[in-house]
Structure 1
Amino acid sequence: MQLEEQALGFPCQGEWLTAILSPVSAPARRGVLIVVGGPQYRAGSHRQFTLLARALAAQGIPAMRFDYRGMGDSSGAARDFEEVDADLRAAVDQFMAACPGLQEVVLWGLCDAASAAMFYARQDKRVCGMVLLNPWARSAEGFAKATLKHYYRDRLLQPELWKKIFSGRFDFGAAARSFAGLLGAAYARRPAAAAKGQDGGAVDTAGTGGHATVAAAGMTAVALPSSAQTAGTAPGAPGLHQRMLEGLQGFSGKVLFIFSGADLTAQEFLDMVKASRQWQGLLAAPRVTRHTLAPADHTFSRREWRDQVAGWTSDWVRSW
């Protein structure tokens, strides 16, 4: 029997966070904490996190989803994904307190929530695993290369493009400017810090305020607000890619990666992996499991995609 969900409130550095617990009837030693990415709240886009938590609870896995400080119904100032370690620790504390018998927690995160999970997991021995979907590894160079490689190739194969061209409705000038801008970003000379593996701090500047998803030629590209676009760019600070790498290297638990086949954010992360022996070694480790849902967009917006993600998650959490 599935129990009714519970609304919870708990403190975090002087602020008050809001969460929803999806409990289970029998005691469980492992649960899933759903980390909410981008400027959104605990329900998720198209109620994804609500439905995921309920699906996990139906399989005997307790789940909790919560709002960061400054998001949803939580108090405080809004912050980006690189500044939520305290929120995650407070949420793990509350999750374990609300579920007697819970001994360990799996962090589940999509996009920049996956990146936030990588930063945090090694700091908390109660975290035994991570489910990371389409991790955010945005840099101006990486996004430009991913777009050139994946978007334009697919775009040329679309009948709609050629219909626009032959009907005279295609804007060659705008297309040329966009292509030239991407070429410039993809192959611009990088600063010395980037050449030493500290790139990844500067991110695509096209996004403005909102976790917007833009469909393009069967692919989806995600833009974060300006606060996240400049994260990790302090002089001398490790770039985003390096911080993610160090976080995953320092975490000894199990990891499940889930990638969308029709998402530029996922492709950019995978291109980063292909360019790095260290990343390739990490993803090839026995503790890492990997799934790809070829037709899915960034947020797995169709029911069949969402259900597949929930199935992979529950099967993996119960497999060890």
Structure 2
Amino acid sequence: MSRRSLTFACGTDRLAGTLDMAEGTTGLLIVTGGNEVRSGAFGGQAQLAARIAAAGHPVFRFDRRGIGDSEGENAGFRGSANDIAAALAAFREHAPQLSRVIAFGNCDAASALMLSGGAGTDGLVLSNPWTIDLAASGSDVAPPPPAALRARYLEKLTNSREIMRLLRGGVDLSKLRKGLRHALRGAPTRSNLAQDMESGLAGFAGPVTILLASEDRTAQLFEAAWPASDPRLRRCLGADHAYSAPPHRAWLEAELLRCLRD
């Protein structure tokens, strides 16, 4: 396995990419979420790329326009379809043995892949897709879904320490009332974003796996807006958004390798 940095064109802009080379014919294209650079949060994506490449699969990461070392204007995840397509073309150019490319994205990177109908890739691994239209909701913070709040309050009711804290006045009652009102609401209305993601994914012909970290609010909100019967859903119990605990990182890596080998 070897790692090298390179640049590639997206329209008139030059984007930065990193290729972890291996001999395999199925490669992994990592699409970053939020405004993360291609190293990912705390270098986690670089470490993941090294492990996947060591298992025999080439891995390509990149900074979309306006992020990290890439030129251009940042159009956000909604405007990144051309960036993903350009990265895919560069990946295939620099790893010409590839016959298949599986794309992996977490959070709004997963949303971007869905909105773009896979952007020309052969398979998708979508982790904790972002479904909340914050501009439409008038908030900059995604609230937890009512079902998740109900589960949290039920857990507290079975915890003697939490009950004693309530009885001793250690709980903000106004905040508790607000939380209970939210918990008693029905299922949230599906956002336009979630509907657009579903439409985009419906046009994708390749295999799809959807990974959900059970302790992640983004995953909980996605699950509340998505058909529970979808056989493509796979859940990692106890995991946070970034699968930061070693067992959860191992679970994510195993899922990616399974999808690359299928």
* TM-score, normalising length: structure 2: 0.86
How many residue pairs match? The answer is 255
Question: Which of 196, 200, 206 is equivalent to 1:247?
Answer: 200
Aligned to 2:105: 109
> What SS is found at the alignment partner of 1:161?
helix
User: Which deviates more, 128-137 or 263-272?
Assistant: 263-272
Aligned ranges 1:280-299 → 2 under 5 Å: 280=229, 283-284=230-231, 288=232, 290-299=233-242
* Alpha-carbon separation, structure 2, partners of 1:166 and 1:272: 36
Partner of 2:66: 70
Name the SS for the 1:273 alignment partner.
coil
Instruction: Give the CA deviation at 1:145.
Output: 2.8
**Aligned partner of 1:79 among 75, 78, 83:** 75
State the one-letter code of the partner of 1:165: L
Name the residue aligned to 1:23. 21
After superposition, the C-alpha distances for 1:115-170 in whole angstroms (9 at most, x for unaligned) are 1111223552xx11001111112255984434434443444445553353244332
Aligned pairs for 1:94-173 within 5 A: 94-124=90-120, 127-138=121-132, 143-158=144-159, 161-173=162-174
Q: Distance in 1 between matches of 2:19 and 2:128?
A: 25
Distance in 1 separating the partners of 2:11 and 2:119: 18
Segments of structure 1 that go 5 or more residues without pairing to the other structure are 201-238
Q: Is there any run of 5+ residues in structure 2 with no aligned partner, and where? A: none
Query: Any idea what the Cα deviations from partners look like across 1:49-92, whole Å, max 9, x if unmatched?
Result: 11111111011010011111111221222222111011001100
Identity %: 31
**8 Å Cα contact 2:145-2:224 kept in structure 1:** no
The one-letter code of the counterpart of 1:310 is: E
Mapped contact 2:156–2:163 kept (Cα < 8 A):
no
Gap change, CA 1:316 and 1:240, over 3 Å in 2: same
Alignment CA distance shift 1:78-1:172 (3 Å):
same
CA contact (8 A) 1:48 1:306 kept: no
- Against the structure 1 CA distance between its residues 6 and 160, is the aligned structure 2 distance closer, same or farther, given a 3 Å change threshold? farther
Say which is worse superposed, 152-161 or 291-300, in terms of deviation: 152-161
Asked if the contact 1:150/1:264 (under 8 Å) is kept, the reply is no
Measure how far apart 1:40 and its partner are: 1.3
> SS in structure 2 opposite 1:16?
strand
Alignment-mate amino acid for residue 171 of structure 2: F
Q: Distance in 2 between matches of 1:169 and 1:314?
A: 47
Question: Could you say which residue in structure 2 is the equivalent of 1:313?
Answer: 256
Please state whether the residue corresponding to 2:6 is helix, strand or coil. Answer: strand
Please tell me the root mean square deviation across aligned C-alpha atoms, in Å: 2.6
